[in-house]
């Protein structure tokens, strides 16, 4: 765990707003649609969106700068060109970020800007990319856990207890290959990692997409994570704004492609949900 400090800054436009960003690593949009997720569904509709990157590192770097997955529908917050949730003021797409619900200033990224504005910034990551300080040093407190949803939730709840405002982040790894989670007995026999691609890509002779065994394993992992959301949400203030999304999707043999790190539609289409825990509208 790294401990970092950031001085106060008055640049935040709404410093009382608590924020939680949750990423289901590698989770395709159609997987989350097929999964039974009654908890998430009770809070918000999940929309298809375009990921800002095709693997963990660049996608999270973009999200930490306020560039969330972008939905095609013209819905504020879901489509940042119609109203952005979190933006860096004075850099990048200034006409877009300038109208963000929450705008912060930083020469590093929006997480650092939130820290400078008086937020406590807390994060935890499952994927090995979160061993990289270039992803984690912007947080005042960060823990790399590996795939361990219950530990991650406990860490975030402990670090945010009695604190306001805060920005909390969780990268869940259960939906990443090999799709393991606590209590799971059956292992996925298909290696979906990108190393399985031959060049040029050759159409797989067996089942692909929804028909591939790996698809059902990712569905099961998404359903498992849904059972963990009640503990997480119940432990946070009711006015917390929550973003649930994926950093990228996954290919299950479509067009000869496997895994991620490639610009295939199934890698770039991800789920996105944005809501307040108390059900109130977010002013865009």
Residue 107 is assigned to a structural domain of this protein: yes
Tell me the per-residue pLDDT of 39-83, one tens digit each, with 9 for 90 and over: 999 999 999 999 999 999 999 999 999 999 999 999 999 999 999
Cα 167 from Cα 73, distance rounded (Å): 26
207-258 pLDDT, tens per residue?
Answer: 999 999 999 999 999 999 999 999 999 999 999 999 999 999 999 999 999 9
Mean pLDDT for 266-281 is 97
CA angle 64/113/63 to nearest 5° reads 10
Phi, psi of 45 (to 5 degrees): -75, 140
The whole-angstrom separation of Cα 58 and Cα 21 is 16
- Residue 281 inside a domain? The answer is no
- Phi-psi category of residue 209: left, alpha or beta, with phi > 0 → left and psi -120 to 50 → alpha: left
CB 96, CB 84: distance < 8 Å: yes
- Does residue 67 contact residue 51 with C-beta atoms inside 8 Å? no
Q: 200 phi and psi, to 5 degrees?
A: -70, 155
Q: Identify the band that residue 11 occupies on the pLDDT scale cut at 50, 70 and 90.
A: very low
How many C-beta atoms lie closer than 10 Å to residue 128's C-beta?
Answer: 12
> Which residue(s) pair with 169 in the sheet?
21, 123
Domain that includes residue 110, residue range: 2-276
Q: pTM for the complete prediction? A: 0.94
Determine the distance from the C-alpha atom of residue 162 to the mean position of all C-alpha atoms in its chain, rounded to a whole number.
24
Q: Is residue 181 part of a domain?
A: yes
Helix (H) or strand (E) holding 268: helix 265-268
3-state secondary structure of 137: coil
pLDDT at 4 over 90: no
Q: What pLDDT score was predicted for residue 222?
A: 98
SS3 154: helix
Q: What is the mean pLDDT of the chain?
A: 92
Domain count, the chain: 1
Say if CB 127 and CB 148 are below 8 A apart.
no
Domain-located, residue 192: yes
Residue 137 has pLDDT above 80, yes or no: yes
Give burial (CB, 10 Å; 0-12/13-18/19+) of 283.
exposed
CB of 118 closer than 8 Å to CB of 143? no
**What is the band of 15 on the pLDDT scale with cuts at 50, 70, 90?**
low
Structure tokens given for 59: 């996608």
Q: Is residue 182 part of a domain?
A: yes
Looking at residue 8, what is its pLDDT? 38
284 lies in some domain: no
Greatest Cα pair distance, the chain, in angstroms, is: 59
Residue 237: how many CB atoms within 10 A of its CB? Answer: 15
Q: How many residues does the chain have?
A: 284
Q: Is residue 282 part of a domain?
A: no
Euclidean distance between CA atoms 86 and 100, whole angstroms: 6
The domain that holds 123 is classified in CATH as 3.40.720.10
């Amino acid at each position: 765990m790294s401990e970092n400090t950031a001085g106060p800054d008055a640049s935040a436009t709404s410093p009382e707003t608590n924020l939680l960003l949750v990423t289901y690593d590698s989770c395709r949009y159609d997987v989350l649609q097929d999964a039974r997720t009654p908890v998430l569904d009770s809070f918000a509709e999940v929309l298809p969106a375009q990921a800002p990157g095709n693997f963990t590192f660049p996608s999270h770097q973009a999200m930490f700068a306020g560039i969330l997955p972008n939905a095609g529908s013209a819905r504020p917050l879901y489509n940042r060109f119609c109203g952005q949730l979190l933006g860096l003021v004075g850099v990048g797409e200034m006409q877009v970020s300038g109208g963000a619900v929450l705008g912060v200033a930083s020469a590093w990224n929006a997480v650092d800007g939130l820290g400078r504005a008086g937020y406590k910034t807390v994060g935890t990551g499952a994927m090995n990319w979160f061993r990289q300080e270039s992803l984690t040093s912007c947080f005042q407190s960060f823990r790399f856990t590996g795939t361990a949803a219950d530990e991650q939730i406990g860490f975030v709840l402990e670090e945010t207890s009695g604190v306001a405002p805060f920005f909390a982040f969780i990268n869940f790894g259960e939906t990443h290959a090999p799709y393991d989670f606590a209590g799971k007995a059956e292992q996925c026999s298909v290696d979906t990692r990108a190393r399985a691609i031959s060049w040029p890509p050759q159409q797989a002779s067996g089942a692909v997409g929804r028909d591939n065994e790996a698809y059902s394993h990712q569905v099961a992992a998404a359903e498992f994570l849904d059972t963990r959301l009640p503990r997480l949400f119940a432990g946070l203030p009711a006015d917390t704004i929550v973003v649930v999304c994926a950093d990228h999707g996954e290919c299950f043999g479509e067009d000869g492609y496997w895994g991620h790190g490639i610009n295939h539609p199934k890698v770039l289409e991800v789920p996105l949900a944005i809501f307040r825990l108390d059900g109130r509208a977010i002013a865009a």
